[in-house]
Amino acid sequence: METIVFDTGETLVRDDRYWASWADWIGVPRHTLSVLVGAVVTQGRDPADALRILKPGMDVREAHLARAASGRGEYLDETDLYDDVRPALGSLRKLGVRMVIAGNGSARAGELLRGLDLPADLVVTSEEWGVAKPQPDFFERVLEASQAGPHETVYVGSHPANDVFPAKAAGLRVAHLRRGPWGHWWAEDPDVVAAADWRVDSLTRLAALVSDEASDPPSPARTGLHSVPD
Protein backbone atom coordinates (compact mmCIF):
# COMPACT_ATOMS: atom_id res chain seq x y z
CA MET A 1 0.00 0.00 0.00
CA GLU A 2 2.03 2.95 -1.30
CA THR A 3 -0.61 5.63 -1.89
CA ILE A 4 -4.00 6.45 -0.38
CA VAL A 5 -6.30 8.70 -2.37
CA PHE A 6 -9.19 10.41 -0.60
CA ASP A 7 -12.49 11.62 -1.94
CA THR A 8 -13.58 14.99 -0.55
CA GLY A 9 -17.32 15.38 0.14
CA GLU A 10 -18.53 13.18 3.02
CA THR A 11 -15.06 11.65 3.25
CA LEU A 12 -12.92 14.54 4.46
CA VAL A 13 -15.47 17.36 4.42
CA ARG A 14 -19.07 17.51 5.59
CA ASP A 15 -21.48 18.63 2.87
CA ASP A 16 -23.82 20.34 5.36
CA ARG A 17 -22.62 23.89 4.74
CA TYR A 18 -22.66 23.47 0.95
CA TRP A 19 -26.29 22.38 0.73
CA ALA A 20 -27.41 24.78 3.47
CA SER A 21 -25.98 27.68 1.47
CA TRP A 22 -27.87 26.52 -1.63
CA ALA A 23 -31.11 26.29 0.35
CA ASP A 24 -30.64 29.82 1.63
CA TRP A 25 -29.87 31.04 -1.90
CA ILE A 26 -33.01 29.62 -3.49
CA GLY A 27 -35.19 30.42 -0.48
CA VAL A 28 -36.28 27.01 0.80
CA PRO A 29 -35.89 25.38 4.22
CA ARG A 30 -32.53 23.69 4.59
CA HIS A 31 -34.11 20.42 5.63
CA THR A 32 -36.27 20.41 2.50
CA LEU A 33 -33.26 20.55 0.21
CA SER A 34 -31.32 18.05 2.31
CA VAL A 35 -34.13 15.50 2.01
CA LEU A 36 -34.39 16.00 -1.75
CA VAL A 37 -30.64 15.62 -2.26
CA GLY A 38 -30.77 12.28 -0.47
CA ALA A 39 -33.76 11.18 -2.51
CA VAL A 40 -32.26 11.93 -5.92
CA VAL A 41 -28.88 10.42 -5.06
CA THR A 42 -30.41 7.14 -3.88
CA GLN A 43 -32.17 7.04 -7.26
CA GLY A 44 -28.80 7.25 -8.98
CA ARG A 45 -29.27 10.85 -10.10
CA ASP A 46 -27.13 13.98 -9.99
CA PRO A 47 -27.43 15.72 -6.59
CA ALA A 48 -28.02 19.00 -8.44
CA ASP A 49 -31.33 17.54 -9.65
CA ALA A 50 -32.66 18.43 -6.20
CA LEU A 51 -32.16 22.09 -7.09
CA ARG A 52 -33.87 21.62 -10.44
CA ILE A 53 -36.87 19.99 -8.74
CA LEU A 54 -37.30 23.00 -6.48
CA LYS A 55 -36.48 25.51 -9.22
CA PRO A 56 -37.47 24.01 -12.59
CA GLY A 57 -35.34 25.25 -15.45
CA MET A 58 -32.51 26.37 -13.18
CA ASP A 59 -29.10 26.51 -14.84
CA VAL A 60 -27.06 25.29 -11.88
CA ARG A 61 -23.74 26.44 -13.30
CA GLU A 62 -25.04 29.96 -13.90
CA ALA A 63 -26.55 30.02 -10.43
CA HIS A 64 -23.24 28.87 -9.00
CA LEU A 65 -21.44 31.77 -10.72
CA ALA A 66 -24.09 34.22 -9.55
CA ARG A 67 -23.67 33.08 -5.95
CA ALA A 68 -19.91 33.51 -6.18
CA ALA A 69 -20.28 36.99 -7.68
CA SER A 70 -22.58 37.99 -4.83
CA GLY A 71 -20.08 36.88 -2.22
CA ARG A 72 -22.15 33.86 -1.22
CA GLY A 73 -20.12 31.25 -3.04
CA GLU A 74 -18.27 28.20 -1.74
CA TYR A 75 -16.58 28.37 1.62
CA LEU A 76 -14.62 25.91 3.75
CA ASP A 77 -12.87 26.17 7.06
CA GLU A 78 -11.59 23.84 9.78
CA THR A 79 -15.11 23.25 11.13
CA ASP A 80 -16.11 21.57 7.87
CA LEU A 81 -13.55 18.79 8.31
CA TYR A 82 -14.56 15.56 10.00
CA ASP A 83 -12.85 15.20 13.36
CA ASP A 84 -10.75 12.23 12.29
CA VAL A 85 -9.19 13.87 9.22
CA ARG A 86 -6.11 15.51 10.72
CA PRO A 87 -5.30 12.63 13.12
CA ALA A 88 -5.65 10.10 10.30
CA LEU A 89 -3.56 12.01 7.78
CA GLY A 90 -0.95 12.74 10.44
CA SER A 91 -0.60 9.05 11.28
CA LEU A 92 -0.33 8.09 7.63
CA ARG A 93 2.30 10.76 7.04
CA LYS A 94 4.43 9.24 9.82
CA LEU A 95 4.14 5.86 8.09
CA GLY A 96 5.50 7.33 4.87
CA VAL A 97 2.35 6.85 2.80
CA ARG A 98 1.84 9.12 -0.20
CA MET A 99 -1.51 10.90 0.18
CA VAL A 100 -3.63 12.43 -2.56
CA ILE A 101 -6.92 14.25 -2.18
CA ALA A 102 -8.93 14.01 -5.39
CA GLY A 103 -12.69 14.35 -5.66
CA ASN A 104 -15.44 16.00 -7.62
CA GLY A 105 -15.52 19.72 -7.07
CA SER A 106 -14.90 23.15 -8.47
CA ALA A 107 -11.55 24.89 -8.90
CA ARG A 108 -12.62 27.15 -6.03
CA ALA A 109 -13.15 24.08 -3.83
CA GLY A 110 -9.60 23.02 -4.68
CA GLU A 111 -8.26 26.40 -3.57
CA LEU A 112 -10.20 26.20 -0.32
CA LEU A 113 -9.01 22.66 0.41
CA ARG A 114 -5.39 23.60 -0.21
CA GLY A 115 -5.91 26.57 2.09
CA LEU A 116 -6.61 24.17 4.96
CA ASP A 117 -2.98 23.01 4.73
CA LEU A 118 -3.73 19.32 5.08
CA PRO A 119 -0.66 17.02 5.12
CA ALA A 120 -1.28 15.69 1.61
CA ASP A 121 1.11 15.44 -1.33
CA LEU A 122 -1.51 16.66 -3.80
CA VAL A 123 -4.95 18.26 -3.52
CA VAL A 124 -6.95 18.49 -6.73
CA THR A 125 -10.57 18.62 -7.91
CA SER A 126 -12.40 17.33 -10.94
CA GLU A 127 -12.79 20.81 -12.45
CA GLU A 128 -9.04 21.35 -12.22
CA TRP A 129 -8.45 18.04 -13.99
CA GLY A 130 -11.21 18.61 -16.53
CA VAL A 131 -12.84 15.24 -15.84
CA ALA A 132 -15.20 14.08 -13.10
CA LYS A 133 -16.09 10.86 -11.34
CA PRO A 134 -17.28 8.30 -12.17
CA GLN A 135 -15.66 8.65 -15.60
CA PRO A 136 -12.76 6.23 -16.16
CA ASP A 137 -10.50 9.11 -17.21
CA PHE A 138 -10.76 10.53 -13.69
CA PHE A 139 -9.32 7.34 -12.22
CA GLU A 140 -6.60 7.29 -14.86
CA ARG A 141 -5.60 10.69 -13.50
CA VAL A 142 -5.78 9.26 -9.98
CA LEU A 143 -3.28 6.58 -10.93
CA GLU A 144 -0.97 9.14 -12.49
CA ALA A 145 -1.11 11.19 -9.30
CA SER A 146 -0.63 8.10 -7.18
CA GLN A 147 2.84 7.39 -8.59
CA ALA A 148 2.21 3.73 -7.68
CA GLY A 149 0.61 0.72 -9.31
CA PRO A 150 -3.14 0.10 -9.10
CA HIS A 151 -2.75 -2.67 -6.53
CA GLU A 152 -0.57 -0.37 -4.42
CA THR A 153 -3.15 2.44 -4.52
CA VAL A 154 -6.24 2.64 -2.30
CA TYR A 155 -9.16 4.95 -3.06
CA VAL A 156 -11.23 5.99 -0.03
CA GLY A 157 -14.81 7.18 -0.46
CA SER A 158 -18.38 6.74 0.67
CA HIS A 159 -20.36 6.72 -2.59
CA PRO A 160 -20.62 3.39 -4.44
CA ALA A 161 -21.34 4.79 -7.91
CA ASN A 162 -18.75 7.57 -7.75
CA ASP A 163 -16.07 5.94 -5.61
CA VAL A 164 -16.27 2.21 -4.96
CA PHE A 165 -17.31 0.76 -8.32
CA PRO A 166 -15.32 2.99 -10.74
CA ALA A 167 -12.17 2.84 -8.61
CA LYS A 168 -12.42 -0.94 -8.49
CA ALA A 169 -13.02 -1.07 -12.26
CA ALA A 170 -9.82 0.93 -12.73
CA GLY A 171 -7.91 -1.74 -10.81
CA LEU A 172 -7.45 0.23 -7.59
CA ARG A 173 -8.12 -1.20 -4.18
CA VAL A 174 -11.02 0.40 -2.35
CA ALA A 175 -11.89 1.34 1.21
CA HIS A 176 -15.61 2.08 1.58
CA LEU A 177 -16.10 4.68 4.27
CA ARG A 178 -19.36 4.01 6.09
CA ARG A 179 -20.39 7.52 7.07
CA GLY A 180 -22.42 10.37 5.70
CA PRO A 181 -25.68 9.72 3.84
CA TRP A 182 -24.14 7.62 1.07
CA GLY A 183 -21.91 5.55 3.31
CA HIS A 184 -24.82 4.63 5.56
CA TRP A 185 -27.42 4.14 2.82
CA TRP A 186 -25.30 1.55 1.02
CA ALA A 187 -23.41 0.21 4.06
CA GLU A 188 -24.68 -3.35 3.69
CA ASP A 189 -25.50 -3.39 -0.01
CA PRO A 190 -24.21 -6.78 -1.22
CA ASP A 191 -22.63 -5.32 -4.36
CA VAL A 192 -20.76 -2.73 -2.33
CA VAL A 193 -19.67 -5.31 0.23
CA ALA A 194 -18.36 -7.53 -2.56
CA ALA A 195 -16.49 -4.71 -4.32
CA ALA A 196 -14.81 -3.10 -1.31
CA ASP A 197 -11.46 -4.43 -0.15
CA TRP A 198 -12.10 -2.85 3.23
CA ARG A 199 -15.04 -1.21 4.97
CA VAL A 200 -14.15 1.34 7.62
CA ASP A 201 -16.12 3.60 9.93
CA SER A 202 -13.31 6.06 10.59
CA LEU A 203 -10.29 7.32 8.66
CA THR A 204 -8.12 6.63 11.69
CA ARG A 205 -8.40 2.91 10.89
CA LEU A 206 -6.36 3.37 7.73
CA ALA A 207 -3.04 3.53 9.59
CA ALA A 208 -3.76 0.07 11.00
CA LEU A 209 -4.39 -1.23 7.48
CA VAL A 210 -1.05 0.13 6.30
CA SER A 211 0.76 -1.40 9.28
CA ASP A 212 -0.97 -4.76 8.77
CA GLU A 213 0.01 -4.82 5.11
CA ALA A 214 3.59 -3.92 5.90
CA SER A 215 3.87 -6.91 8.23
CA ASP A 216 1.89 -9.27 5.98
CA PRO A 217 2.05 -8.10 2.35
CA PRO A 218 -0.78 -9.57 0.23
CA SER A 219 -0.15 -11.41 -2.98
CA PRO A 220 -1.71 -9.83 -6.10
CA ALA A 221 -4.11 -12.77 -6.27
CA ARG A 222 -5.46 -12.31 -2.76
CA THR A 223 -9.01 -11.02 -2.72
CA GLY A 224 -11.87 -10.64 -0.28
CA LEU A 225 -13.38 -8.25 2.20
CA HIS A 226 -11.47 -6.88 5.13
CA SER A 227 -13.90 -5.15 7.50
CA VAL A 228 -12.23 -2.97 10.09
CA PRO A 229 -14.51 -2.25 13.06
CA ASP A 230 -14.06 0.63 15.45
Q: What is the pTM of this model?
A: 0.86
**Residues 36-81: tens digit of each pLDDT:** 998 888 888 888 899 999 999 999 888 877 877 777 778 899 999 9
Q: How confident is the model at residue 150 (pLDDT cuts 50, 70, 90)?
A: very high
Same domain, residue pair 60 and 93: no
Instruction: Give the domain-ending residue among 32, 50, 69.
Output: 69
d(CA 35, CA 169): 30
Same domain, residue pair 109 and 182: yes
Is it the case that residue 88 has pLDDT exceeding 60? yes
Same domain, residue pair 151 and 56: no
Same domain, residue pair 208 and 116: yes
Is it the case that residue 129 has pLDDT exceeding 50? yes
The residue-averaged pLDDT of 108-120 equals 95
Same domain, residue pair 166 and 88: yes
Q: What is the mean pLDDT of the chain?
A: 89
Better pLDDT: 30 or 68 = 30
Same domain, residue pair 62 and 84: no
- Number of compact structural domains in the chain: 2
Q: Considering the chain, what percentage of its residues have pLDDT values greater than 90?
A: 67
Better pLDDT: 82 or 18 = 82
Same domain, residue pair 57 and 159: no
Better pLDDT: 6 or 66 = 6
Same domain, residue pair 86 and 179: yes
Same domain, residue pair 160 and 175: yes
Distances (CA, A) of 128 to 46, 124, 131, 180, 222: 20, 7, 8, 25, 35
Instruction: Give the domain-ending residue among 46, 69, 92.
Output: 69
d(CA 160, CA 115): 28
Is it the case that residue 184 has pLDDT exceeding 50? yes
Helix axes 85-94, 206-215, angle to 10 degrees: 20
Predicted pLDDT of residue 63: 85
Is it the case that residue 130 has pLDDT exceeding 60? yes
Is it the case that residue 175 has pLDDT exceeding 90? yes
Is it the case that residue 227 has pLDDT exceeding 60? no
Same domain, residue pair 154 and 165: yes
Predicted pLDDT of residue 199: 95
Q: Are 226 and 18 in contact (CB under 8 A)?
A: no
Predicted pLDDT of residue 225: 40
| Domain range for 43 | 16-69
Same domain, residue pair 53 and 92: no
Same domain, residue pair 103 and 156: yes
| CATH code at position 215 | 3.40.50.1000
Q: Considering the chain, what percentage of its residues have pLDDT values greater than 70?
A: 93
Instruction: Give the domain-ending residue among 24, 45, 69.
Output: 69
- Cα 19 to its chain centre, rounded Å, is 16
